[in-house]
Structure 1
Amino acid sequence: MPPRTLFRSVAFAEAATWTLLLIALFLKYVLHTGEAVMSIAGGLHGFVFLCYVASTCFTWVNQKWTTGTGLLTVASAVVPYATIPVERSLDRRGLLHGGWRLASGGAEPRGPLEKLQAWVLRRPATAVVVTLVAVAAVFSFLLFLGPPDTWFA
């Protein structure tokens, strides 16, 4: 899966989970249906948000985006549906084109981030398992903390 396909898929999924979250908010606060739908939608959105951040950072390193482009792209996940126009803008400007430069036979990695990315690209099955465990650990910790509105109360 090339960088463009990975990034586009996760950007779309992040926007789609915004829809679920907004519907859940409407059901909870306008129709007063309770917490169940909110918990499911919020959890799913949180998980996809973390996946979006991880895939954005991975694509950022591969495509050698500027710091500003990378930070804007990560921040776009905070605004409902913003990942879609950001993805389209990156694609139009050619910032998603090409393959994985550090894959087998590709460029030589420089620095710790590129070395990590080269390891991931050369051992994809192991990397997927490690990534899923890491995302699940962060997700579980955030579930343990509870909803963001209770963190500072």
Structure 2
Amino acid sequence: MSPRTLFRTFAFAEVVTWAGLITAMILRGTGVTDAAMPIAGGVHGFVFLCYGVTTVFVWVNQRWKAGTGILGLITAVVPFATVPFEFAIDRKGLLAGGWRLLPGGDAPRGFIEHVQAWVLRHPLLAIVLLVVLVAVVFAVLLILGPPVPRG
């Protein structure tokens, strides 16, 4: 999977989960049901964290300027903004190419690139560790409660 495909997948997933979350909020706010909120909120929270990790991973690989990477992270907070951001950076060619730190590619420089090179060399183990890490962060956030308590 290329950086472009990975980023595009999570940008779209973030938009879909925003739609689900907003729908659940409308259903709760109009008194139809509260049942959708924990599901939509949980799914959105998980995808939000995955999008953030994906953004940083692609940012490092593509050597984006700091402003581009930070803007990519901020778009996750704004409903439906990740897809327009993805379109814009794709048009500028900022998602072009493959994984530059794969074996036979660029030599990693610095701690972050060494981590990324390890991930690219051990993708299955990295995915398992990443899912566990995101799940732990997600569980901690669930224990802390919703960002804005109802009532």
TM-score when normalising by structure 2: 0.97
1:56 aligns with 2:77: no
> What is the CA deviation profile of residues 39-85 of structure 1, one whole-angstrom value per residue up to 9, with x for unaligned ones?
00000000000000000000000000000000001100101100011
Question: What residue in structure 2 maps to residue 26 of structure 1?
Answer: 26
Deviation of 1:35 after TM superposition, in Å, equals: 2.5
Q: In the TM superposition, what are the counterparts of 1:72-87 in structure 2 within 5 Å?
A: 72-87=71-86
Provide the alpha-carbon RMSD of the alignment.
Answer: 0.7
Question: What residue in structure 1 maps to residue 15 of structure 2?
Answer: 15
Tell me, in whole angstroms, the C-alpha distance in 1 between the residues paired with 2:124 and 2:104: 18
Tell me, in whole angstroms, the C-alpha distance in 2 between the residues paired with 1:129 and 1:91: 28
State the aligned residue count: 149
1:132 aligns with 2:131: yes
Deviation of 1:36 after TM superposition, in Å, equals: 1.7
Tell me, in whole angstroms, the C-alpha distance in 1 between the residues paired with 2:141 and 2:102: 33
Identity of aligned residues (%): 57
Deviation of 1:149 after TM superposition, in Å, equals: 1.6
Tell me, in whole angstroms, the C-alpha distance in 2 between the residues paired with 1:136 and 1:34: 27
Q: Extract unaligned runs of 5+ from structure 1.
A: none
Q: Report SS of the residue matched to 2:132.
A: helix
Tell me, in whole angstroms, the C-alpha distance in 2 between the residues paired with 1:87 and 1:34: 34
TM-score when normalising by structure 1: 0.96
Deviation of 1:104 after TM superposition, in Å, equals: 1.2
Amino acid at match of 1:24: A
Of 51-60 and 35-44, deviating more is 35-44
Runs of 4+ in structure 1 over 4 Å off: none
